[in-house]
A = this chain, B = another copy of it.
Amino acid sequence: MRTGSCVAKLSGGDPSLLRRLNIAAVLRTLYDADEPTLTELVKWSEVSRATVEEIIADLEHQGLAEEVRLPPDAPRRVGRPAKRYRFRQDAGHVAGLDVGPHKVLCLVADLRGEIVASARADVGPHMSAAERLDVARDMVERATEGHDELRALGVGTTGVISAGKVVRSERLPDWQGLDLAAKLGAGRPYPVLAGNDTKLAALAEHWRGAARDVDDVVYLLVGRSISLGLLIGGKLHLGHNGGAGEIGVLRDLGWYTALDRMPAFGEDDPDAASDGEAAKRVFDAVRCGDPRAEAVVTAFVADLATGVAATVLTVDPQLVVIGGGLSQAGALLAEPLHAELNRLCLFPVQVEASVLGDESVALGAVRLALDRVQAELFDVAEAAGGQAPDRA
């Protein structure tokens, strides 16, 4: 709409570009407005009536727009009521894939981001890259079955991801150097965008979680591993090499010892337990007032806090979100961490546990895919280069 007209002003009058800009402006208005009339579309899109009429006809033909049919029992008004139009959010779909050491999860959403289907498989950390990719492709196939036209696929996985490649992976050594986007995109008609799991989870938190409407956020993914994602000015901060938030590699910080504390509380093989199971045992015991479990949590928080404090002192965020398996502990983890951060940092910072559960990475991947599709539909100017995954 307004953006449209601005860009039009900048287009230097290339007719085909101008045409695309007008389509984008009308489509954006249709998407944002609540079943507008033609007159409203003209007013809000700042495109001439004749052009809007043409474009709406095209969009209906493409299946992106439809006329709103009044229900038969709608009250009859005097005279012919103005036609109203709506954006067809089911005109296409996007998928978000979480490919982790322990699970593969695919969520499918319509063009408004409403989740319409999902498929999930448990996997093991020692599976080969080829096998893991097969499971991933299979989950996408199952989840998208019966949902027309997949327009983009977002993928979140562990490690440092840059331009769709796994530049570095500590948890899945077999993953290192893998061109994930290319592997999953081969022979597919839709673009595949890959990003780091923690960063995508942070994106999800900003979209639909604890960080909604908060611009500067430190997101902690705490499960079998501990990692960190930054939202700065409401945008993911990825860093020059896509490695922002990788503070955990500093051994002095104690994040490595932290990781052993929860599983150590139970006796079974840590690797056998899925993310958060070991922690669940600890926090269940805390709820029953088990002092041994309380000591584990205290030590865990102490290990965790220095690294988080270093990040909080560096970025000075408004909010720290705890996501991942341990988010289920809620206040039992958030409160002691909050106290420790206030002791170590200059300014008090909110600490909240995520409520998105273990779907946050896949949900962030949906958002990544949706950003690309919306950029193509609405932002002709920017869409030139599209939205690179490591620019998410």
Contact = CB atoms under 8 A, between A and B. Distances in A.
Contacts of A253: 310
Interface stretch (A93-101, A239-247, A367-375): A239-247
Interface in A10-60: 10, 46
Contacts of A315: 230, 237, 239, 244, 314
Nearest to A9: B5
Nearest to A344: B250
Contacts of A311: 310, 314
Contact of A241 (B232, B239, B314, B347): B347
Interface residues of A, number: 45
A379 to B, nearest CB: 14
A317 interface: yes
A228 interface: yes
Copies of this protein chain in the complex: 2
Contacts of A339: none
Nearest to A252: B306
Interface in A251-277: 252-253
Given A168-B346, A237-B232, A346-B160, A314 B9 contact: no
Most chain B beta-carbon neighbours within 10 Å: one of A5, A246, A253, A306: A246
Interface in A297-347: 306-307, 309-311, 313-318, 344-347
Contacts of A233: 232-233
Contacts of A246: 313-314, 316, 346
A238 B247 CA distance: 20
Interface string A215-230: 0100000000000101
A312 B49 CA distance: 54
A237 B235 CA distance: 13
A285 interface: no
Interface of A: 2, 5-6, 9-10, 46, 160, 168, 216, 228, 230, 232-233, 237-250, 252-253, 306-307, 309-311, 313-318, 344-347, 349
